[in-house]
Chain A
């Protein structure tokens, strides 16, 4: 890219503080992938439709292609690398493997983060709510049925774990 305005940012990514100089127009997901080499967040459509770039910014889901890296100065960003390493979605990851809920794997990191957010928002959610909640994440292998099964299984097991 041609150089645009350079912005100095400090952003905490997966718990590690990073200081970097970024181009004002660089997206968060390009920053994560190209500058920090965190390639688990994927670049699909670059206009917010496919969902493959979904990450957490200050604890809430956001599209990495619809935020500028410069906007994240002072923020805490979590990617699939950090969230997976934390162990907090190990049950969901295992359920995806059991249900064969990933084929090419391109949509999987964002599916996991989105599904985890849905489960936190509404631990009692059913298949319809899962389908609706994941409708902003495209799987071009069209493996939606298995993905919904995996999330549903995780919802059940998390409820049981809480004695619900």
Chain B
């Protein structure tokens, strides 16, 4: 189980990376943390003509607070994010989600940008990005653009990234008063991809969920925002809302059936997670 031959490039700047992408076109693959790409290479599920290793591109791994929010560089390692006081303070949803991502020896290499660009439907960070209404920064030679997380994830392993573009950062808008986060996940074993995961970000007023953003992973081809369920819980106490919220959630979801779980089990687990999350969010502090 060894990769097919490929050319290896290690650009020292974004410009050199754009050059390599331009030279090889869509047959090039960007190597960031490599914790999903390298397995795909080893199993020859991916056989790129060139691998463009962006790990030595400077300036892509920072975590900093800016006027537009918390900026997490694409090359920020998941374990660094897990330990970051800035993330804990300004994006607690992401801090809570990080321990669910795989294992220590993979988080040390795995990157935030890699998780987002891969867009695995059961992954944690895409769901968090959608729940936080975050923005994803993309760059190409001579220009850059921002894409709202809700429009970034297009399908299984499919994103808004166009050929020649590189994902450079995730920007989480500044936290505002009253918003609380709760991340929860159910998997067969710790570190496995989620059967169902929930990124919940809600505004609480006097024990009532004033506004809810409920985004689930593992139940569709992209992170799924449970809009009907959000509407059903808005303005109510979780205890009063759960029966109706559960029915609304059922209408929001069309979960996949696979070797890991039936659709019915995923629906059940999603209801369990929503109930737990809303109770925890209202009871917090």
Contacts and interface: CB of A to CB of B under 8 A. Distances in A.
A124 B5 CA distance: 46
A114 interface: yes
A59 to B, nearest CB: 10
A65 B42 contact: yes
A135 interface: yes
Interface of B is mostly: loop
A48 B1 contact: no
A135 B189 contact: yes
B269 interface: no
B177 interface: no
B41 interface: yes
Contact of B55 (A24, A54, A71, A133): A71
Contacts of A153: none
Interface string A37-72: 000000000111001001000001111011110110
Interface string A113-150: 01001100100000000001101110000000000000
Interface in A18-38: 23-25, 27, 30
A4 B5 contact: yes
Contact of B105 (A1, A4, A68, A136): A136
Nearest to A7: B8
A7 B7 CA distance: 10
A2 interface: yes
A66 B3 contact: no
A47 B191 CA distance: 14
Contacts of A135: 103, 189-191
A67 B6 contact: no
Given A47-B43, A136-B103, A2 B5 contact: yes
B2 A25 contact: yes
B105 A51 contact: yes
Nearest to B1: A46
Contact of A118 (B55, B104, B189): B104
Interface of A: 1-5, 7, 23-25, 27, 30, 46-48, 51, 54, 60-63, 65-68, 70-71, 73, 114, 117-118, 121, 132-133, 135-137
30 contacts: A2-B5, A5-B8, A25-B5, A25-B6, A25-B8, A46-B1, A47-B42, A48-B35, A51-B105, A62-B108, A63-B105, A65-B38, A66-B34, A66-B35, A66-B38, A66-B109, A67-B38, A68-B38, A70-B8, A71-B10, A71-B31, A71-B34, A71-B53, A73-B10, A118-B104, A121-B104, A132-B190, A136-B102, A136-B104, A136-B106
